[in-house]
Each structure stands twice: as C-alpha cells, then as structure tokens.
C-alpha cells in the first residue's frame, strides 16, 4: 500500500469515527464497510463496526465483527467485555458466562465483569453461582446497589430469609423509598397489610412488561386466561355474549385476548403503563387506560355485564373494597371471572412471594355480602413458582 493510500485510509477512518461519535450511524457504517474491503484484517475497524451494530441493536451482526476483532486481539479486555455483553443480548447466556470468566483471568478485579457474570448466572437460574459473583462485586465495591438488590432477590428465591432481609434492608439504606424492598420486607416478616402498594405494582410490572408474555406463558406455564375461557365455554351459563366487558389488571392483554371475542365492547385497565403499552400494540381493547382498579370502578355505574380479573386479586389482598366498587359498576346478572391463589388461613394472607392468597370461604363470603353467587369454582394450578406449582381457584360469580 502506498503512503498516499494509507493516509487516505486513515483519514476516512477518522471521518467514520467522528460520524460514529455523533451517532450518525448510517453514514459511519457506509465508510467502515468500504474500508473493510480495502483493509479486511484490521481489529480496530471490526471493533468499531461491532460497536456500531451493538448501539443500533443489530446484535447478530455486532457479534460477527466482535468475533473477528477478538481473533485479531485475543487479550483485549474491552473487546472481550463487549463481545460477552453481545452474547448475553443474544440470549447466549452460557457462552456469555464463559467469556466473562475468561475476562476475569485477564482482569480479575473488575466489578463490571463480575456483576455481568452474576447477571448471566441469575438469568440461567444458577442462583448460588450468581450470589458468589455479586458478593465478589461487593468485596470490591461495597455500595454497588444493583448487586445488593440482586442479592436480596436471590436470597429470597433461595428461601434464605435472614440474608434476604439483610440485603433488602441494605437496599433501603441507599434507597429508602424502594417499593420492592419495602413490600418484600413486609412479606418476609409476615406483616399484616391489606393490599399491595401501587408503586410496587408499577415498578414490578413496568420492568416485567418487555418479556412478560414469554416469561409467564413459557417460563411459568401461566394458563389462567386460557383456563378461565375454556371453563366458561364448558359452563352451562345462559349468556354466551356480552355487551360491555371490563378486564381488570389487563396487563399485556392475555385475558382480553380470550374473552374479547365474546364482547361487543371491551375495556382494559392496569396500573402499569408499560403493560398497557404492550396491550395497545395487540389492539384487543376498545378502551384502554392506566388506572387503579378500585378507583376506576368507583367512578362507574351499572356499566359492565362481564368483568375479568386473571391473576390480579393476588395483588389486592382485602377484597371488600373491590367487590364494593365492582358491584356498583356492573349490571344486574353480570358475570365476574377471576382467579385467586389458595390460602390455608381463614381469610387472606400476604405470602413470602409478595402476593396474596385467599381462602375460598373468604372469597365466597365477601362476594355474597355484595350479592354475588358462585356459578362455578374450580381448583387448579395457576402457574409455576420455581419448581413448584401454585394452586389456586377460578371463580365464576354471578351478581344476583
Ligand atoms: C400477573 S399480571 C396479570 C395480567 C393479565 N390479567 C393476565 O392474565 O395476563 C397482574 C396485572 O395486574 C395489574 N394490577 C395489580 N394490581 C392492580 C391494581 N390495584 N390496579 C390496576 N392494575 C393492577 C398489574 O399491573 C399487572 O399488569
């Protein structure tokens, strides 16, 4: 290569880097790719192209270029870190964990690497290995809040109440309003609370919304909406279609999807705006709104002839206010289809999972106080919790 063409290549590379740093990705990519034809075996070029594709979320292409750059510079820790992150983004969790471990051999005391290794193990459900990685992070950076939060969560999952409480309290030390820590401390200490704080619901479901359908349907084998619909179809119920339905705590629309075709008009409400965004994308509801169930229902009169609450009463605890509001908002003869987790205690209780469980007796008596009578109730499994099935009841209640 002549000096002139080398200079020309360097200038073009500098120009591409400048465009790249200004997030002018398309223009930068064009120059990088042309340069690649002239100087294919250049690690820095492949690294930058990998970075550009990573930033534009084309993780497959990013990985190809990071891999080539890696072959050219196997000991480059920045490169290996990005390569591992990219593997993780692509769901290649085992490969990512391997890459992060390789990186630990090169730079043993890097909290970011240990934290990301912990994240891989956490997603792989290798809880004990995740705990070990996060603890190493805290040895290096004792105030690393994300690691502290994840340790609280993991000890909770591992049924290690003492450590879970310790880490939830540490979370509160740094973030006194952290709704998850506050709620989980209540759950683990058997506090008597009547409902789940709205802030906690919003935080949790806003963060679940992206992968909610896959996580619930595939991961947790959640089938409440489907089961409610097939039970309804099998039910000897005189009404088979409805004029106005309300899906309470509609989430991403799984229950609306099952019941929508039976209804001329269907409304979905939920506290989590991110869950609502997902439901909007599916186009199931005629009206959809971010709202709290009891507050929303209080503002309605004789409006609905069908109400659905799939896996939602588990977040409400005391059902009295819900039935009071629902009774005012529904027409005579309305049908209410809902699910609860079963409690072996007389009324309802907050489980260590942070969700409420209700006894069948409590649900039926509370419903009856407001004039609702069971046309059917079926005990079944609702979803998985780690390796166990969560038992619950599906109710069809008629307003008489
Ligand atoms: C487990 S998800 C179930 C979603 C949907 N019903 C389904 O079957 O897929 C529970 C939903 O209830 C919502 N939720 C819980 N408590 C609520 C409340 N008090 N008001 C409104 N939405 C609530 C949550 O935000 C979440 O989207």
The answer to whether residue 3 scores a pLDDT higher than 70 is no
Q: For ligand 1, what atom is nearest to the CA of residue 201?
A: 25
Q: Is 99 in the pocket of ligand 1 (CB under 6 A)?
A: no
**What's the CA-to-centroid distance between 44 and ligand 1, angstroms?**
48
The answer to whether residue 274 scores a pLDDT higher than 70 is yes
pLDDT attached to residue 2:
52
Q: Is 47 in the pocket of ligand 1 (CB under 6 A)?
A: no
Residue ranges of domains in the chain, CATH in brackets: 3-188 (1.25.40.10), 206-399 (3.40.50.150)
- Residue 58 gets which letter from DSSP? -
Q: Phi/psi zone of residue 160: left (φ > 0), alpha (ψ -120 to 50 degrees), beta?
A: beta
Instruction: Please tell me the residue having the least CA distance from ligand 1 atom 16.
Output: 315
**What's the CA-to-centroid distance between 166 and ligand 1, angstroms?**
29
pLDDT attached to residue 4:
54
Q: Is 310 in the pocket of ligand 1 (CB under 6 A)?
A: yes
**What's the CA-to-centroid distance between 250 and ligand 1, angstroms?**
6
**What's the CA-to-centroid distance between 157 and ligand 1, angstroms?**
22
The answer to whether residue 1 scores a pLDDT higher than 80 is no
Task: Give the Cα separation of 333 and 85 in Å (integer).
Answer: 55
pLDDT attached to residue 18:
97
Task: Give the Cα separation of 19 and 241 in Å (integer).
Answer: 59
Q: Is 184 in the pocket of ligand 1 (CB under 6 A)?
A: no
Task: Give the Cα separation of 397 and 307 in Å (integer).
Answer: 10
pLDDT attached to residue 207:
86
Prediction pTM value: 0.84
**What's the CA-to-centroid distance between 361 and ligand 1, angstroms?**
23
Q: Is 370 in the pocket of ligand 1 (CB under 6 A)?
A: no
- The DSSP result for 321-370, as a single string, is HHHHHHHHHEEEEEEEEEEEEB-SSSSEEE-TTS-EEE-HHHHHHHHHHT
Nearest Cα to 301, choosing from 340, 342, 246? Answer: 246
The answer to whether residue 11 scores a pLDDT higher than 80 is yes
Q: Is 205 in the pocket of ligand 1 (CB under 6 A)?
A: yes
Write out the H or E segment, with its range, that includes residue 335.
strand 330-341
**What's the CA-to-centroid distance between 333 and ligand 1, angstroms?**
25
For residue 141, give both structure tokens.
């950076």
Q: For ligand 1, what atom is nearest to the CA of residue 225?
A: 8
Q: Mean pLDDT, the chain, as a whole number?
A: 94
**What's the CA-to-centroid distance between 312 and ligand 1, angstroms?**
5
Query: Which tens digit of pLDDT belongs to each residue from 168-217?
Result: 999 999 999 999 999 999 999 988 899 999 999 999 999 888 888 887 77
């Amino acid at each position: 290569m002549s000096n002139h063409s080398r200079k020309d290549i360097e200038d073009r590379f500098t120009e591409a880097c400048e465009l790249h740093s200004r997030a002018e990705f398309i223009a930068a990519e064009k120059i990088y790719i042309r340069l690649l034809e002239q100087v294919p075996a250049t690690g820095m070029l492949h690294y930058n192209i990998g970075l550009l594709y990573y930033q534009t979320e084309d993780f497959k292409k990013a990985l190809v270029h990071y891999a080539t750059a890696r072959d050219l510079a196997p000991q480059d820790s920045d490169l290996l870190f990005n390569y591992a992150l990219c593997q993780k983004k692509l769901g290649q969790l085992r490969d990512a964990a391997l890459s992060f471990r390789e990186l630990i051999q090169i730079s043993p005391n890097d909290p970011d690497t240990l934290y990301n290794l912990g994240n891989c193990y956490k997603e792989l459900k290798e809880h004990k290995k995740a705990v070990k990685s996060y603890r190493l992070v805290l040895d290096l950076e004792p105030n690393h809040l994300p690691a502290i939060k994840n340790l609280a969560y993991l000890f909770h999952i591992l049924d290690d109440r003492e450590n879970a409480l310790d880490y939830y309290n540490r979370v509160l030390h740094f973030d006194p309003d952290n709704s998850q820590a506050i709620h989980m401390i209540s759950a683990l200490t058997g506090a008597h609370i009547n409902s789940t704080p709205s802030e906690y619901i919003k935080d949790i479901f806003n963060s679940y919304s992206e992968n909610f359908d896959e996580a619930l349907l595939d991961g947790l084998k959640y089938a409440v909406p489907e089961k409610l619909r097939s039970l309804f179809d099998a039910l000897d119920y005189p009404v088979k279609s409805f004029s106005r339905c309300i899906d309470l705590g509609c989430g991403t629309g799984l229950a609306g999807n099952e019941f929508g075709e039976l209804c001329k008009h269907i409304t979905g409400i939920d506290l989590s705006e991110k869950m609502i965004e997902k439901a909007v994308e599916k186009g199931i509801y005629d009206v959809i709104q971010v709202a709290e169930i009891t507050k929303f229902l209080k503002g309605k009169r004789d409006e609905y002839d069908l109400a659905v609450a799939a896996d939602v009463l588990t977040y409400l605890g005391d059902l009295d206010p819900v039935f009071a509001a629902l009774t005012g908002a529904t027409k005579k003869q309305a049908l209410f289809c809902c699910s609860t987790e079963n409690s072996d205690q007389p009324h309802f209780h907050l489980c260590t999972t942070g969700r409420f469980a209700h006894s069948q007796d409590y649900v039926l008596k509370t419903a009856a106080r407001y004039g609702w009578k069971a046309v059917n109730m079926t005990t079944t499994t609702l979803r998985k919790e780690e390796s166990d099935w969560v038992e619950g009841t599906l109710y069809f209640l008629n307003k008489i």
